[in-house]
């Protein structure tokens, strides 16, 4: 699994968990989430590297405004009081058109893709869903920020 494939799968799993708990914040164990993504036959070094990268995924999502958290335990891996921001909630709850005539929200597509498990989800679908979320964030960026500042 490439870094980007790992990132996409962990991102969707994080989005799904935080959306389900909204508005209640969660203590989010990203290492446990990463273990649901790492292939069973992964080498020890590959697993170790992926577990280290899981923290970076959540930090990136926070820096880009999808979620907030109140830090981690000293050993890392568990992010305290993680919750979607307005931006994250709006993007995940908005209708998307992965197919013509499709009016399901992005989170509904994510749930469907992850229903059999994060490891089993099709690589292309996972990639498309992550790209849709980020494209929606970029498109909504200036207008959403302008609304929040007024």
The predicted-structure confidence for 37-71, as pLDDT tens digits, reads as follows 888 888 888 888 888 888 999 999 999 999 999 98
Cβ atoms within 10 Å, residue 103:
8
Q: What does each C-alpha distance from 146 to 125, 139, 141, 149 come to in angstroms?
A: 32, 13, 9, 5
CB 49 within 8 A of CB 70: no
Tell whether the model's pLDDT for residue 147 goes beyond 70.
Answer: no
| pTM score of the predicted model | 0.82
**Rounded CA separation 148/150 (Å):** 6
- If you ran DSSP here, which 8-state letter would residue 95 be given? B
CB 22 within 8 A of CB 84: yes
Confidence at residue 25, expressed as pLDDT on a 0 to 100 scale:
96
- Residue-wise pLDDT tens digits, 14-34: 999 999 999 999 999 998 999
Flag the least confident range among 96-100, 118-122, 135-139. 96-100
**Which tokens is 66 given?**
């999808």
Computed over every residue of the chain, the mean pLDDT equals 83
Confidence at residue 143, expressed as pLDDT on a 0 to 100 scale:
54
**Rounded CA separation 5/7 (Å):** 5
What does the domain layout of the chain look like in residue ranges? Answer: 3-149
CB 127 within 8 A of CB 11: no
Confidence at residue 83, expressed as pLDDT on a 0 to 100 scale:
96
């Amino acid at each position: 699994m490439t870094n980007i494939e790992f990132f996409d799968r962990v991102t969707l799993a994080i989005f799904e968990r935080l959306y389900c708990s909204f508005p209640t914040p969660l203590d989010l164990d990203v290492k446990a989430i990463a273990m649901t993504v790492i292939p069973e036959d992964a080498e020890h070094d590959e697993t170790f590297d992926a577990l280290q990268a899981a923290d970076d995924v959540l930090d990136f999502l926070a820096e880009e405004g999808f979620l907030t958290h109140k830090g981690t335990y000293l050993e890392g891996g568990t992010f305290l009081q993680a919750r979607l921001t307005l931006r994250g909630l709006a993007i995940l709850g908005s209708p998307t058109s992965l197919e013509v005539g499709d009016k399901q929200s992005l989170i509904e597509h994510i749930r469907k893709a992850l229903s059999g498990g994060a490891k089993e989800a099709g690589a292309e679908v996972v990639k498309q869903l992550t790209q849709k979320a980020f494209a929606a964030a970029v498109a909504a960026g200036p207008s959403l920020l302008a609304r929040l500042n007024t």
